Amino acid sequence: MASIQLKQITKTFDKHDVIKDLNLDIEDGKFTVLVGPSGCGKTTLLRMIAGLEVQTSGQIYVGGKDVSKVAPGQRGIAMVFQNYAIYPTMSVRENIEFGLKNNKVPKAERTELVEGIAETVGLSDYLDRKPSTLSGGQRQRVALARAMVKKPAVFLMDEPLSNLDAKLRVQMRIELIELHKKLGTTFVYVTHDQVEAMSMADKIVLMNKGEIQQEAPPEVMYHTPSNAFTAQFIGVPPMNISAMSDGFSFGFRPESASLSKEKLLGAFAAHGRIVTREMLGSETIYQLKTEHGSFMIKSIDDSFRVDDEVHIAVKQDKLHFFDAR
Ligand code: ADP
Ligand code: MG
C-alpha cells in the first residue's frame, strides 16, 4: 500500500503544456478516479506516475519516496491498460505466472500465489484454458490477475473497461469495487465516463486541459460543484446553466425543478413549452423552451407531452452560482 503525491508536475509535448503545474495527493488504500474529457491529460498523468513518461518538471512521490528518477519496474506499481496485454498462446495459469517466472520465484510458491489470485478474481475454473476461449470480462480478469501477482502497492488502470459491452462494464465495475475492498491497495483509475467515476470512486479528481478542476468524493462533487465546468461534466443530463448579465451564471440540476401545468413560485421560475420527451422508465426527461432559455428537466411524472405548456420553479437552495470564467 502506498500514497502518491504529485508536486508541481508539468508535462510539455511539442512546446504545448499538456499537464500544467499540477499538485495532487492520492490517499493510501483509496479508490481514486481521474476523470475528464478526451485529451485532457489523464493517460499522460498516469503514465508519469508509472514512470512510462518523464515529467518535464516536478516530483512524484510513492509511499513518501521520491520516485521521479526511479525506473518503472522499481516503483511498486502495476498498470492495467485498455488494451490488456495477455499472451494468446499461453494458458490462463501461464499468463498469470509469467511475471513470477521472470523473477525466479520457486515453483511451489508460484502455484500457491497463482491459485490464490485466480480465486480472488473468479478464474479458478479457467486456469488451464487459453484466452481465446474466454469472454471479454474473463480476459479482463486475467489482465488484472497478471498485475496482482506482483503484489503492487499501487494499481493504475487506464480505461480498463472501455472495450467491454455496456452490461459487462456495469458488472466489472462492481467486481473492481469488491476487488479493491479485498486488496486494500491504492487504486488510481482513469476514465472519461463520469458515471464510472461517480459509481466507483472514493474520491474523484476532475481534470480539464491539463488542470484539476475539483477533487472531492462523488456526493460532494455532485451537490457542490466548484465551477461551471464541474457542474456540467458530472450528472446526466448535465446541470442547466444560464448566464447572467454581470459575468456570473447560475445553474440547477434537471431533477431540482418542479414541473406543472399550473403557475409555480420559486427563486427561479420560467414558463414554456416541452419540445422533447424521453421516457426512461422511472424517470422522464423533458426539454423545455422558455422565455429564459432552454432547460432539461428530469421528473418522475411521465404525464407531460411534447407541445404541452408548462411552468417550472427551482427553490433557492437548489440554485448554484458560478463565476462565468
Ligand atoms: P487523455 O488520456 O485525457 O485522453 P492524453 O494524456 O492521452 O489525454 O493526451 C493529452 C494531450 O497530450 C493530447 O492533446 C495528446 O494529443 C497529447 N499527447 C499525448 N501523448 C503525446 C505524445 N507522445 N506526443 C505528443 N503529444 C502527446
Ligand atoms: Mg487516455
Find the 119 Cα to ligand 1 centroid distance in Å: 37
Looking at per-residue pLDDT, the higher value among 256 and 105 belongs to: 256
Give me the chain's average pLDDT, please.
94
Q: Which atom of ligand 1 is nearest to the CA of 11?
A: 12
Looking at per-residue pLDDT, the higher value among 51 and 324 belongs to: 51
Domain boundary among 228, 255, 276: 228
Domain boundary among 196, 228, 260: 228
Chain segment 45-59, per-residue pLDDT in tens:
999 999 999 999 999
CATH of the domain at 123: 3.40.50.300
In 3D, which of 225, 213, 254, 227 has the Cα closest to residue 324? 227
Helix, strand, or coil (residue 199) = helix
d(CA 280, CA 282): 6
d(CA 198, CA 217): 8
Q: Which helix (H) or strand (E) holds 80?
A: strand 77-80
Asked if 215 and 278 sit in the same domain, the reply is: no
Which of 79-93, 178-192, 216-230 bottoms out in mean pLDDT, i.e. has the lowest?
Answer: 79-93
Mean pLDDT in residue range 190-199 = 96
Cell representation of residue 307: 407541445
Asked if 249 and 207 sit in the same domain, the reply is: no
pLDDT at 324: 67
Kindly tell me the burial class for residue 208, based on how many C-beta atoms sit within 10 Å of its own C-beta (0-12, 13-18, 19 or more). Answer: middle
Looking at per-residue pLDDT, the higher value among 41 and 141 belongs to: 41
ipTM, two decimals: 0.99
d(CA 258, CA 299): 8
Q: Is 38 close to ligand 1, i.e. is its CB under 6 Å away?
A: yes
Q: Which atom of ligand 1 is nearest to the CA of 44?
A: 6
Find the 279 Cα to ligand 2 centroid distance in Å: 33
Q: Is the pLDDT of residue 84 over 70?
A: no
Q: Is the pLDDT of residue 81 over 80?
A: no
Asked if 173 and 315 sit in the same domain, the reply is: no
Q: What range defines the domain where residue 220 resides?
A: 4-228
